[in-house]
Amino acid sequence: MTSDSIHGMWSSRLMFILAASGSAVGLGNIWRFPYVAGENGGGAFVIIYLICIFLIGIPIMVSEIVIGRFARKSPINAMATAASKSNASRKWQLVGWMGVVAGFMILSFYAVIAGWVLSYVFQLGSGVFVGISGESAEQIFKGFVGNVWEVLAWFTIFLAITVVISARGVSAGLEVAVKYLMPILFFLLVVLVIYAAVTSGHFLEGVNFLFSFNFEKLTWNSVLEAMGQAFFTLSLGMGAIMAYGAYMPKDASVIGTATMIALMDTGVALMSGLVIFPLVFANSLESSAGPGLMFITLPLAFGQMVGGQIFGCVFFVLVAFAAVTSAISLIEPAIAWLIEKLKTSRRVAALIVGVCVWLLGLGSVFSTNIWSDLFIFDEMTFLDSMDYVTNNIILPLGGIFIAIFAGWVLSSMILDSEMTLDGWFYPVWKFLARFIAPAAVAIVFFMALLQV
C-alpha cells in the first residue's frame, strides 16, 4: 500500500490526536454526559463509563484507525481494499457506506443545532438574558426555533463554515482548524471552570454531583447508559475516525493514540460539568439534559451571575468551536469518497456534499416550526427521526461489524504491520475486538430498540 493518502496527511501524531479529539468532543459531551453521570451515581458512573471506554470505545476506535491507515482511502474504499487484501468479500465495503451515510445524516441535523449555538453567542453577548425570568428564557428559545428564516440562516452559516474549512484540504483546512480551535477550546474551558468556582458559590455542590461515589444510584440502566455513551462519544461507526486514520503518520502507536483521545474526550465532558452544574445549583435551576439545559437553563443562569453576559458568550463560543471540529469530521468521509469516485477537486467535492447536506437539513430546520406537527415515527419530528435512525440503528450496527471485521476478517499480516508499536496491548485489543466490544454494542443496540 502507499505510505501517504492522496487527500493529505496530518503533520504529526499530535495533530491526529487533536483532530480525532475534536471529532469526539461535541454537543453531547457538554449537554448530556455531565447530567447522565450526575444522575447515575456520579463518580461510580464515571468508573463504569471508563471501563466501557476501554472495553468498547478504544477497541472499535483502534479497529477504525488500523483499517483507515492501512488503506489510506475513504471509509468505503478502505473497507473494500482491506477486505480484498484479506481475501474477503468486497461486500464489506457496505460497512463503510453505513458510516459515510450516517455521518452525512448526522451532519444534516447537527449543523442545525450548531446554528442555534452560533445565534446564542450573539444573544448572550448582547445581554438579552441579563436579569430575565425562566419563563422569558423559554420564550426566547421557542421564539427563535419557531422562526424558520432565522434558523435557516444560522444553519446555512454554520454549514458554510464547515464546507470552507473542509474545502481547503487536510493540511490547510482541517489541520489548521484543529490546531487553533482545540487549544482555544481547552483554554476557554479552564477559564470557565475557574469562573464557576469563583463566582457561583456552589462549586463544591457541582463537584459532589459529578464525582461523589453514589453506588446506590447505579442500576442496570446506568450500565447501559455508560456503554452507549462510551460508544457514541468517540465518533465511532460514522466513518470519521477511519477517514482521519487514513491521514495518520505510520510511526505512531495506534492503541496509545486512541487511549489519549478517549481520555481527552472524557476530560472535556467532566470539565463541562464543572462549569454547568455550579451555575445551575447557584440559581436553583433544573439540571436537565439536552436542548433545555443548553438553551434555556444555562442562559438563564448566566443572566443572573456577575459577569454572566461575557462568560455566557464565551461558553457558547466554546460550544461552537466543539461543534465545528465535530462537523468537519462528519463531512470528511463523504468528501474523500467523492474525490476518489469522480476524480474531482476537493473544492468541488466539498461544495457538492455541502449542498446535499443543506437540502437534507431543511427537514430538521422545519422540524421546530412549519413541520412541527409532522411526525415520521411515533411522535418523532424529522430531526428526532434522523437522530434516532443514526444513533440507535446505523452507528451501533456499523460498530459491531467494524469490530468483527478487524478482529476476525482482517489479515494478520495487515494487523502486524499496523500495530508493531503496540506491544502486549495488541493481543488484548484483539480479544476485546473479537468478543467483548461486539457483544456489548449489540446489547446496547437491542435495548435501545426495546425502549421505543
Sign of CA dihedral 431, 433, 435, 440: positive
pLDDT value of position 1: 55
pLDDT value of position 451: 65
pLDDT band at 223 (very low <50, low <70, confident <90, very high): confident
pLDDT value of position 4: 83
Q: What would the pLDDT profile of 57-82 be if each residue is shown by its tens digit?
A: 999 999 999 999 999 999 999 999 99
pLDDT band at 230 (very low <50, low <70, confident <90, very high): confident
Mean pLDDT of 38-62: 91
pLDDT value of position 15: 95
pLDDT over 70 (residue 129): yes
pLDDT value of position 140: 95
Rounded distance, CA 187 to CA 148, Å? 34
pLDDT over 70 (residue 289): no
**Backbone angles phi and psi of 252, in degrees to 5:** -135, 140
pLDDT value of position 190: 94
Whose grid coordinates read 476530560? 267
When comparing pLDDT for 85 and 447, which is higher? 85
Mean pLDDT of 259-287: 89
pLDDT value of position 81: 96
pLDDT value of position 395: 92
pLDDT over 90 (residue 446): no
Cβ proximity of 241 and 23 under 8 Å: yes
Rounded distance, CA 385 to CA 376, Å? 6
Rounded distance, CA 107 to CA 101, Å? 10
Q: What would the pLDDT profile of 133-154 be if each residue is shown by its tens digit?
A: 888 999 999 999 999 999 999 9
pLDDT value of position 2: 56
Mean pLDDT of 400-417: 94
Q: What would the pLDDT profile of 311-342 be if each residue is shown by its tens digit?
A: 999 999 999 999 999 999 999 999 999 999 99
pTM: 0.94
pLDDT value of position 210: 87
Mean pLDDT of 237-246: 95
pLDDT value of position 404: 95
Mean pLDDT of 424-448: 90
pLDDT over 80 (residue 288): no
Architecture (CATH level 2) of domain 13-450? Orthogonal Bundle (1.10)
**Burial call 274-302: b when 16+ CB within 10 Å, e when fewer:** bbbbbbbbbbebebebebebbbbbbbbbb
pLDDT band at 35 (very low <50, low <70, confident <90, very high): confident
Question: Reduced to 3 DSSP states, what percent helix, strand and coil does the chain have, rounded to the nearest 5?
Answer: 80, 0, 20
Mean pLDDT of 231-247: 92
pLDDT value of position 39: 83
pLDDT value of position 209: 86
Rounded distance, CA 348 to CA 341, Å? 12
pLDDT value of position 231: 84
- Residue 100's nearest CA partner among 367, 450, 349 is 349
pLDDT over 80 (residue 10): yes
Mean pLDDT of 207-229: 86
Mean pLDDT of 372-386: 88
